[in-house]
Chains A and B, each alone.
Chain A
Amino acid sequence: MHLSRREFVTWVGASGIMLAMTRLPSAQAGRFDETQTLPGTAGPRPAHGSTRRIDAVAKVTGAKLYASDFRAADMDGWPPTTAHALLIRATDAAHVFAGLDLSALDAGAQPTKIVTAEDLARAGTRVPPFYAGDFLCPVGKTPLYLGQPVALLLFETFDAYDRARVLLRQTSPIKLGAETGPLAQPNYAALRFTRVAGDAPGAPDVYSPLMEGWISPGFLEAGGRPVWRPLPTPEGGQYKKGATYGEEIRAFITAKDPGTLVLDRSFRTQSVDPMFLEPECGLAWYDPKAKALQLVIGVQSPLGASEALGHLLGEAAPALRPERIETHFAHLGGGFGGRDHTPFPLYVALAAMFLPGRPIRLAHDRFQQFQGGIKRHAFEMRSQVAFDRATGRMRAFAADHILDGGGLANYSASVAAVSATSAIGIYDIPKVDVTTLAEHSRGVTAGSMRGYGVLQTTAALETLVDEAAEAIGLDPITLRRRNLLKAGGLTMTGNPWTVSVRTPEILDKLEDHALWRDRAQAQKAASAGTLVGTGLAVCAKDYGTGADCALGRVEVDPTGRIRIFRDAVEMGNGIGTAVANRVAQFLGRMADEVSVARIDAFEALGLVTSGDPYAITQEEQDTASRNPRWVPAVSSPTSASIGAHVGTQAAAEAARIILRFGMWPAALALWGIDQNDPRHFLWDEAFWQDGMLILSGLPPLAQEEVAAKAHAMGALTGAMAHAFSRWAWAQAAFPLDGLEWAADIDALAVRRGERPFKVLDRSFIAFPPATYNRIGTSFTSSCGTLVRVEVDKASGAVRVTRAYSVLECGQVLSPHVVLGQTQGGFAHGCRLRASGELAAIRGRSGQRALEPRRLCGRARLRSADPRLGG
């Protein structure tokens, strides 16, 4: 789909639908854009450290922020009353769906309308390409998965809806036909990642995905699973080459060399609900007179959701085809990946289209969220690792991953790739072979969720490392240190990490901590009925997806007030606060207003895009980039932990440009420095302190004074930019005030004084090479944690008594947010172990049988001591 921001507001594409995206105003206190502000001049200066969250006051006063808070009466211009919709989901995916029986509902609980698959077919709705499968299961077919919607019930009143909701949970309305067994569907993805390092340190790889590309087997067994072996046939080509190396690695591991310790273990993890506290919900109203559909939703992927809505209704029958879709985006009550490309908004839209003229709300309760919300993939893993007994060095690693992708296509292929390419964690292993298979199942759809597959594979790997340390007789930290991937070393896809690699320091900190030093003493001191143990693990988690972008717009008014627009969504991760901090470094004060989820604020850039940024060829990219408005992608979901690094980039570069071409010329004028003065060029030596612009030897200038002068001079006072990262920034140059301004952005528009924004053609552009799409992980952050646990011998109760965690978090934009994320991560780790399962299956131990979607337990963090790396 070719789509641009300009097209997005004014665009009438093949569907003929005009799409618009806006930030949802608060219903209680005026426009939210105006209320979600930072302290401004009354608040602390950036040089003085942290400030408040931009959304803090709203959140402690109960303001309407979340999609679940809005009803029709809260929306300007909407009819005042709200109807309600209920999704009926399949509870059996092994029998034919034979229709609905709503006899359990009395007259007061009957729906006004029932929407079925047949209705959708008659209406001509289309399932967006990202998803594969019927949105509503047709009568006569077996549901694709447990939880697949079979019908949408629409109710005029809340009471009718609420009673039906409860009654239908007690008495299923689904009629079943013949038993078919679960439906078989093609796999979502099957990939193999193999790397053979050169013989000597620093020697080129013999084989790697970066050299040869990602490979997938071309043959399937009768059961539908791939044939991973290279077949003795002429066919196979690229796959055959990689697989041959892979099989050699496996033969090496199983060669029974007495000098080699081989561990061969299997692991399993379960499907997990993200359990964001706000269940998915949405509000929509289709005005048939205006042929306009409006929605209020909360998602991590505004652009993706709007694209999907346009596709859904683009070729619908005239009565069900809006001419305009306007989507309002609200804050999220948690996301954790589970709201990234969720199909839920599409059902909200369908509810409105089938009850025209009536605002209608579709909201999951928790039961329904468990039934139908996107889940973390369940994994089955077999891992084989070979250690040199003499040195402790890892010589080879092989693994086979099978992911349960559930019933509807989502991010399974991507999770499979990320988990595989992260399977060797923080280690440098010369021979690696990992197969990964994402399968369709009748389980609930799995997609993006915290950890994105790395949590599963890392936990398995660290378990193996601990077991190896014991078998070889090495201290667990020593064994890890001997195997660390060092700066410049190559990951299993054959590329280096391009960020700081501080795992050695993390291990140093763990080793030096009293919790580790005193572990033997603590064990000896345990009471008779208690076992005491101290353990550690270190992980590396990637951030970014390999095709990430950001939009940022910054404006300074004549009084020095700063306004920032971003396309990202605020789901609690402090993204607005982080961007305000970066902008403040260049413009001398915290923003007075930060407005998020505002793709509509970047029309002036006139961006266009085409192709798939993950799969584009170099030739295609070179051709497309001749258009100065072309970028590989317009807007990214707020996901993959890109909020700080990628998410703030465009706004930060926009602020730098305002400093250089707006505030700096104004300051020069105020200082009386002309262009013949050598200080004329020292803009990057000036700095802000307590709201004053300082250059050595000159009187400090108040930020407000400089801003006023910039406006009076007609200098540059606003900039909007787009940044793109494919494991490296796109770099471009733009003509500005007689200079060629080069920056890590690929699109730029500026304004002078109060005049409108004007887009600039780039005079130079270098997008990261298309071959970078072969990289698995390049941006990564590491974390190491020590935990001491006490186990009550009688009851088996486990208590975490102390913990120490070290996170390498780079440049900290908002320390409080990072600390909170660290503490939250620790709490989640404890919960995962307490309520989840990740156990080696070795016959004797098996795995714990725990409730698969149990609500995570309440954490009592008494003495967790997370520390931040700098």
Chain B
Amino acid sequence: MPAISLSINGRAYGPIEVREDLTMNDFLREVLGMTGTKFGCGAAQCLSCAVIVDHADGTSSTMPTCIVAATEFDKLKVRTVEGHAKNGELTPLQKSFVAHFAFQCGYCTPGFLNEAQVLLERLEKTPIARAELEATIVEALDGHLCRCSGYVKYHQAVRDVVLADAHRFLT
């Protein structure tokens, strides 16, 4: 069996032997016991399983874990929902999700949180005009399924984080 080594939320894991067809989702949940990353559709359609991957060029993106083999994450730097808050202090995005009642059952929240965090970090590096903000958020969050609350509150929560620190995210 191949062995993988990777960083999750800044902590090094591995080398750990895994089956070639073991999904990253099962690696996180069954091997490491990190169940913050959810299993939803098993077809990369709901994206509740999405995690953040930090690339070598300094950019980040989300990746589904339910259909992607753990071996694909070998040598990568990964962030999950468990890694956002530091020392018990929620990030502005987490606080905004809470303040807006963005979720109900909350099962989709890790995916939305990761996606929105990637967006914020992208906007910080490449600010956009205020007029582009709504469409940019819609585009970024598109693909994430929420079966309870209807998306609007997630959208508003992200928008408010941007507007609360406009000089950081907007041109």
Q: Is the CB of A60 within 8 A of B40?
A: no
Q: Is the CB of A820 within 8 A of B26?
A: no
- Please name all residues of chain A whose beta carbon is closer than 8 Å to the beta carbon of B36 when the two chains form the complex: 61-63
A764 at the interface (CB under 8 A from B): no
- Please name all residues of chain A whose beta carbon is closer than 8 Å to the beta carbon of B145 when the two chains form the complex: 277, 855-856, 858
Q: Is the CB of B147 within 8 A of A62?
A: no
Q: Is the CB of B40 within 8 A of A366?
A: yes
B101 touches which one: A61, A71, A816, A858 (CB < 8 A)? A816
**What are the interface flags for A560-574 relative to B under an 8 Å C-beta threshold, 1 for contact and 0 otherwise?**
000000000001111
User: Which residue of the partner chain B has the closest CB to A361?
Assistant: B30
Report the stretch among B56-64, B82-90, B124-132, B158-166 that lies at the interface: B82-90
Say whether, besides A57-B90, A71-B33, A820-B150, A278 and B107 are in contact (CB < 8 Å).
yes
A817 touches which one: B81, B90, B104 (CB < 8 A)? B104
- Please name all residues of chain A whose beta carbon is closer than 8 Å to the beta carbon of B153 when the two chains form the complex: 816, 819-820, 823
Query: How far, in Å, is A87 (CB) from chain B's closest CB?
Result: 16
Query: How far, in Å, is B72 (CB) from chain A's closest CB?
Result: 17
- Please name all residues of chain B whose beta carbon is closer than 8 Å to the beta carbon of A62 when the two chains form the complex: 34-37, 80-82, 110
A683 at the interface (CB under 8 A from B): no
Say whether, besides A572-B148, A825-B150, A858-B144, A61 and B33 are in contact (CB < 8 Å).
no
A59 touches which one: B85, B106, B143 (CB < 8 A)? B106
A366 touches which one: B42, B81, B138 (CB < 8 A)? B42
Q: Is the CB of A275 within 8 A of B147?
A: yes
Q: Is the CB of B46 within 8 A of A573?
A: no
Q: Is the CB of B46 within 8 A of A855?
A: yes
B100 at the interface (CB under 8 A from A): yes
- Please name all residues of chain B whose beta carbon is closer than 8 Å to the beta carbon of A365 when the two chains form the complex: 39, 42
A692 at the interface (CB under 8 A from B): no
A586 at the interface (CB under 8 A from B): no
Q: Is the CB of B138 within 8 A of A862?
A: yes
User: Which residue of the partner chain B has the closest CB to A817?
Assistant: B101
Q: Which of B5-37 contact A (CB under 8 A)?
A: 19, 21-22, 26, 30, 33-37
For the complex, what is the distance from the CA of A397 to the CA of B123, rounded to whole Å? 58
Query: How far, in Å, is B44 (CB) from chain A's closest CB?
Result: 11
A836 at the interface (CB under 8 A from B): no
Q: Is the CB of A861 within 8 A of B107?
A: no
B97 at the interface (CB under 8 A from A): yes
Query: How far, in Å, is B10 (CB) from chain A's closest CB?
Result: 15
For the complex, what is the distance from the CA of A56 to the CA of B85, rounded to whole Å? 13
User: Which residue of the partner chain A has the closest CB to B109?
Assistant: A59
Q: Is the CB of A276 within 8 A of B147?
A: yes
Report the stretch among A332-340, A345-353, A372-380 that lies at the interface: A332-340
For the complex, what is the distance from the CA of A279 to the CA of B107, rounded to whole Å? 11
Residues of chain B at interface, number, CB under 8 A? 55
User: Which residue of the partner chain B has the closest CB to A822?
Assistant: B150
Most central of A55, A277, A856 by chain B CB within 10 Å:
A277
Say whether, besides A334-B147, A823-B149, A858-B143, A73 and B109 are in contact (CB < 8 Å).
no
Q: Is the CB of A823 within 8 A of B106?
A: no
- Please name all residues of chain A whose beta carbon is closer than 8 Å to the beta carbon of B107 when the two chains form the complex: 66, 276-278, 333-334
- Please name all residues of chain B whose beta carbon is closer than 8 Å to the beta carbon of A822 when the two chains form the complex: 150
For the complex, what is the distance from the CA of A365 to the CA of B29, rounded to whole Å? 14
- Please name all residues of chain B whose beta carbon is closer than 8 Å to the beta carbon of A864 when the two chains form the complex: 150, 152
Q: Is the CB of B98 within 8 A of A162?
A: no
B150 touches which one: A73, A334, A859 (CB < 8 A)? A859
For the complex, what is the distance from the CA of A332 to the CA of B38, rounded to whole Å? 13
B113 at the interface (CB under 8 A from A): yes
Q: Which of A53-90 contact B (CB under 8 A)?
A: 53, 55-66, 68-71, 73-74
For the complex, what is the distance from the CA of A823 to the CA of B97, rounded to whole Å? 16
For the complex, what is the distance from the CA of A861 to the CA of B138, rounded to whole Å? 8
- Please name all residues of chain A whose beta carbon is closer than 8 Å to the beta carbon of B82 when the two chains form the complex: 61-62
Q: Is the CB of B43 within 8 A of A366?
A: yes
Most central of B38, B101, B103, B109 by chain A CB within 10 Å:
B101
A827 at the interface (CB under 8 A from B): yes
- Please name all residues of chain B whose beta carbon is closer than 8 Å to the beta carbon of A763 when the two chains form the complex: none
A821 at the interface (CB under 8 A from B): yes
Query: How far, in Å, is B108 (CB) from chain A's closest CB?
Result: 6
A57 touches which one: B35, B98, B113 (CB < 8 A)? B98
Query: How far, in Å, is A53 (CB) from chain B's closest CB?
Result: 6
Residues of chain A at interface, number, CB under 8 A? 65
A52 at the interface (CB under 8 A from B): yes
- Please name all residues of chain B whose beta carbon is closer than 8 Å to the beta carbon of A52 when the two chains form the complex: 98-99, 101
A860 touches which one: B33, B103, B109, B142 (CB < 8 A)? B142
Q: Is the CB of A827 within 8 A of B39?
A: no
Q: Is the CB of B94 within 8 A of A278?
A: no
- Please name all residues of chain B whose beta carbon is closer than 8 Å to the beta carbon of A861 when the two chains form the complex: 150-152, 155
B171 at the interface (CB under 8 A from A): no
Q: Is the CB of B81 within 8 A of A60?
A: yes
Q: Is the CB of B109 within 8 A of A823?
A: no
Query: How far, in Å, is B136 (CB) from chain A's closest CB?
Result: 13
Query: How far, in Å, is A338 (CB) from chain B's closest CB?
Result: 11
A514 at the interface (CB under 8 A from B): no
B71 at the interface (CB under 8 A from A): no
Most central of A278, A279, A822, A825 by chain B CB within 10 Å:
A278
Most central of B19, B36, B109, B155 by chain A CB within 10 Å:
B36
Query: How far, in Å, is B7 (CB) from chain A's closest CB?
Result: 17
A188 at the interface (CB under 8 A from B): no
For the complex, what is the distance from the CA of A856 to the CA of B148, rounded to whole Å? 13
- Please name all residues of chain B whose beta carbon is closer than 8 Å to the beta carbon of A63 when the two chains form the complex: 36
A824 at the interface (CB under 8 A from B): yes
Q: Is the CB of A60 within 8 A of B109?
A: yes
Query: How far, in Å, is B92 (CB) from chain A's closest CB?
Result: 12
Query: How far, in Å, is A35 (CB) from chain B's closest CB?
Result: 12
Q: Which of A217-253 contact B (CB under 8 A)?
A: none
- Please name all residues of chain B whose beta carbon is closer than 8 Å to the beta carbon of A267 when the two chains form the complex: none
Q: Is the CB of A162 within 8 A of B103?
A: no
User: Which residue of the partner chain B has the closest CB to A332?
Assistant: B105
For the complex, what is the distance from the CA of A69 to the CA of B29, rounded to whole Å? 8
For the complex, what is the distance from the CA of A572 to the CA of B82, rounded to whole Å? 20
For the complex, what is the distance from the CA of A333 to the CA of B46, rounded to whole Å? 13
Q: Which of A817-870 contact B (CB under 8 A)?
A: 817, 819-828, 855-856, 858-862, 864
A203 at the interface (CB under 8 A from B): no
Q: Is the CB of A366 within 8 A of B109?
A: no
B3 at the interface (CB under 8 A from A): no
- Please name all residues of chain A whose beta carbon is closer than 8 Å to the beta carbon of B48 when the two chains form the complex: 277
Say whether, besides A66-B107, A572-B104, A277 and B152 are in contact (CB < 8 Å).
no
- Please name all residues of chain B whose beta carbon is closer than 8 Å to the beta carbon of A73 when the two chains form the complex: 33
Q: Is the CB of B150 within 8 A of A166?
A: no
For the complex, what is the distance from the CA of A73 to the CA of B85, rounded to whole Å? 24
A118 at the interface (CB under 8 A from B): no
Q: Is the CB of B19 within 8 A of A278?
A: no
A622 at the interface (CB under 8 A from B): no
A159 at the interface (CB under 8 A from B): yes
A772 at the interface (CB under 8 A from B): no
For the complex, what is the distance from the CA of A574 to the CA of B150, rounded to whole Å? 15
A574 touches which one: B33, B80, B104 (CB < 8 A)? B104
For the complex, what is the distance from the CA of A62 to the CA of B46, rounded to whole Å? 17
Query: How far, in Å, is A43 (CB) from chain B's closest CB?
Result: 11
A687 at the interface (CB under 8 A from B): no
Residue contacts A-B, CB under 8 angstroms, 16 given: A60-B81, A61-B81, A62-B37, A163-B21, A276-B107, A276-B147, A277-B48, A278-B39, A365-B39, A574-B101, A819-B101, A821-B149, A824-B146, A855-B43, A862-B138, A864-B150
> Interface residues, chain B, CB within 8 Å of chain A?
19, 21-22, 26, 30, 33-43, 45-46, 48, 80-82, 84-85, 90, 94, 97-101, 103-110, 113, 134, 138, 142-153, 155
New A-B pairs, 6, CB < 8 Å, besides A60-B81, A62-B37: A60-B84, A61-B90, A162-B19, A277-B46, A278-B38, A823-B149
Leading 4 A-B pairs by shortest Cβ distance: A62-B36, A572-B105, A823-B150, A333-B107
